[in-house]
Structure 1
C-alpha cells in the first residue's frame, strides 16, 4: 500500500515504515503529524484518485529529527570584469517516519 501525499508544498510517494526528508516542519521530536492532502492511494491494486484529494484518507507520521542538508555552493562570475561572488546554503530539513496510511 502506498499513497501520494502533499507535505509542505511538495508531493511524496510514501509507504508505511518509510522515512523521508521534507522541508522544515513545525513540531518537536517524536511529535505526531497527520497529513490530510492525500492525492492518490493504491491499496493492493485498488487505486483511488482524488479530485483534488481523496475523501477520508490521511497519512500519520512522526518527526524523527531536525537537521540541515548538504551545503550547496553558489558561485557567480562575470568574465573579464573582476566580479566574483561565492555563497553557500544549507537547507533546513525534517526527517519524518510514516506510521500509517488510512484510506
Structure 2
C-alpha cells in the first residue's frame, strides 16, 4: 500500500518505511507528525478525493537539514545599485511509520 501526500507546493509518493524530506515543521526529533493524504492506493483499490482525506499518514521526525544555497542577485542599470543575497531552505526529514484508511 502507498499514498500520495501533500508536501509544500507539490506531492510525494510514500510507503511505510520511506524517509522523505518535507518543508520544515516545528517538531522535535522522535515526535510524530501527520501528513495530509491526497490519494491512497491499496492493491487494485484506489481512493481519492473526499475519501482520501479520511486517510492518515503517520511519520516520525528523523532530523532536520538544509537544501542547496540559492544566490539572488539584483542589479539596476546606471545607478550603481547591486545586491547579492543567499538563501537555504530548511527541511525536516521524516520516516513514514503507518498509513491508515
CA spacing shift, 1:93–1:55, aligned 2, 3 Å: closer
Aligned residue for 2:43?
A: 44
Per-residue CA distance 1:22-63 (angstroms, 9 max, x = gap): 11111110111223x322101112101123x52541111100
TM-score (norm 1): 0.83
Q: Report if aligned partners of 1:38, 1:50 keep a CA contact under 8 Å in 2.
A: no
Aligned partner of 1:100 among 92, 98, 101 = 98
Structure number with the higher strand fraction is: 2
1:87 aligns with 2:85: yes
Q: Report if aligned partners of 1:76, 1:86 keep a CA contact under 8 Å in 2.
A: yes
Deviation at 1:85, TM superposition (A): 1.1
What is the SS of the residue equivalent to 1:70? strand
What is the SS of the residue equivalent to 1:54? helix
Structure 2 regions of 5+ residues with no counterpart? none
What is the total number of aligned residue pairs between the two structures? 101
Deviation at 1:72, TM superposition (A): 0.7
Structure 1 regions of 5+ residues with no counterpart? none
Q: Report if aligned partners of 1:8, 1:25 keep a CA contact under 8 Å in 2.
A: no
